[in-house]
């Protein structure tokens, strides 16, 4: 009987962990470095469909001091995960990639290249 209760408790803990940790957006530092390198080479428009290797339907860009709640409201998604400190820092922008109703990846962009915009839900454009 004790073994059955133990197994049920383990299954419950795993289930709760899956619910709490599921659909969390991770920060993609490799993509951030790739975008930074392209910008260092003088690119002013980057096709995000060509530099990403994951599935996404929408991308939005957020400036300094943006809260998770604003991201959720703006994109119509549930935002859980790494916001790169965008809510407290003024030296960065945050790209948020979403698939359906959840964020899947975030990318921190430095303000050293200028200001950014998203064009046609596909291109990252920098204004130097």
Domain boundaries, the chain: 24-127
Specify the pTM. Answer: 0.82
36 closest CA partner among 117, 96, 111: 111
24-76 pLDDT tens trace: 789 999 999 999 999 999 999 999 999 999 999 999 999 999 999 999 999 99
72-84 in b/e burial notation, b at 16+ Cβ within 10 A? beebebbbbbbbb
126 closest CA partner among 103, 105, 109, 106: 109
Own/partner contacts of 20-26, CB < 8 Å, gap of 24 or more, are 23/78, 23/80, 23/102, 23/103, 24/80, 24/81, 24/82, 25/79, 25/80, 25/81, 25/82, 25/96, 25/97, 25/102, 25/103, 25/104, 25/105, 25/106, 26/81, 26/82, 26/105, 26/106
In eight-state DSSP terms, residue 52 is -
87-107 pLDDT tens trace: 999 999 999 999 989 999 999
Q: How far apart are CA 50 and CA 128, in angstroms?
A: 22
């Amino acid at each position: 009987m004790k073994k059955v209760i133990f197994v049920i408790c383990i299954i419950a803990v795993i289930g709760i962990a899956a619910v709490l940790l599921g659909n969390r957006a991770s920060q993609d530092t490799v993509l951030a470095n790739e975008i930074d390198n392209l910008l260092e080479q003088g690119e002013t428009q980057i096709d995000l469909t060509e530099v990403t290797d994951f599935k996404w339907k929408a991308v939005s860009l957020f400036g300094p001091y943006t809260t998770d709640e604003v991201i959720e409201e703006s994109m119509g998604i549930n935002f859980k995960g790494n916001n790169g400190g965008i809510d407290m820092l003024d030296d960065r922008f945050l790209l948020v990639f979403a698939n359906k109703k959840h964020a899947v990846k975030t990318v921190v962009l430095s303000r050293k290249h200028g200001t950014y915009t998203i064009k046609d839900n596909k291109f990252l454009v920098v204004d130097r």
